[in-house]
Amino acid sequence: MALMDFIKKQFIDIIQWTEEGDGTLAWRFPMAGMEIQNGGTLVVRESQMAIFVNEGQVADVFGPGTYKLTTQTLPVLTYLKNWDKLFESPFKSDVYFFSTRQQIDQKWGTPQPITIRDKDFGAVRLRAFGNYAFRIADPKAFHTEISGTRESYPVADLEGQLRGLVLQNISNAIAGSGLPFLDLAANQVKFAEAMVKELAPIFAKLGILIESLTVQNVSLPEELQKILDQKIGMGMVGNDMAKFMQYQTAQAIPKFAEASGGGGGIAGDAMGLGAGVALGQVLAQNLQQGLQTPVAPAAAAAAQAAAAPVGVKPEEVMATLEKLGELKSKGILTQEEFDAKKAELLKKLV
């Protein structure tokens, strides 16, 4: 009886993998010198695949299901071992299981700014990060290229390699998309789609399917971020340059008001007046185009404040005239406006 028990232990009737936890991509069934019973059962659960390997050569591949192991269900192994169709003896073969579940929330990111080429800006340095999800789609390729004969292969051993592939191909993804970098940076969904398109064939060579990829953040240099903000502002007004200039003018008025309030004396008033005149000209043009704006009273208030009578000293008048001259040279004041203000200041000296 003991001899019969010993013989039975040498044969495997059921081959299956019950995953005990997350994070395992490949697992080798423990044979320990035993043989597989001809007519035995192979159980492949949902989200699993299995392969039979004969002397290092991948034979038959099985998807989810329950299989009776015979020469009919193992045609490749039968061919490799040169079995007769009526072969019914126990046999040896390595069996590997693979988890085909999605491996989600895999992080990627640029530890240092990377330089990419863009048709609009030439070289651009950026930081970006996000996450992605993948699954094993081709267990034969994954076994050949990645996991090999190891007893198990965890996700952690693959993370660094995949993250490196993502970072390596960011520049190629942007160039291959044919879209300017600013358009991609403003639309992170398009950015992610361009990266998936670039990465899909690279991952496929490893037997991996990239299911999704997200770009959670793109950090740009300050000067490029300002350009992006302006582009977004243009989009808000329908790329209408007149309306965009009106928007820019409205944004600039508080800054001019601060400058005129902090200048002190006639010089500060004159700076405020010059700004008010220039802004008034822009606003007048916008009004002629049918654009309404609430900032005209502010410009008028600035002009009234500048015209208020104050006691002046000759040196203040000279300083004011010099500043007015600078405004005229920069095109902010016209010659007529400069002459009028000059005459007004000289009268105060009489």
pLDDT of residue 328: 73
Q: Which two tokens stand for residue 182?
A: 């600013």
Q: Which two tokens stand for residue 85?
A: 């169709």
Q: Which two tokens stand for residue 44?
A: 């492949």
Which amino acid is located at 256 in the chain? Answer: F
pLDDT of residue 267: 47
Q: Are 96 and 47 in contact (CB under 8 A)?
A: no
CA dist., res. 327 & res. 339, Å (int): 12
Residues of the chain with pLDDT below 50 are 1-2, 6, 267-268, 270-271, 273, 275, 277, 287, 290-303, 305-309
Output the CA–CA distances (angstroms, integers) from residue 239 to 50, 101, 234, 242, 244, in the order listed: 57, 46, 5, 9, 7
pTM score: 0.63
Neighbours of 67 (CB within 10 A): 18
Q: Are 225 and 233 in contact (CB under 8 A)?
A: no
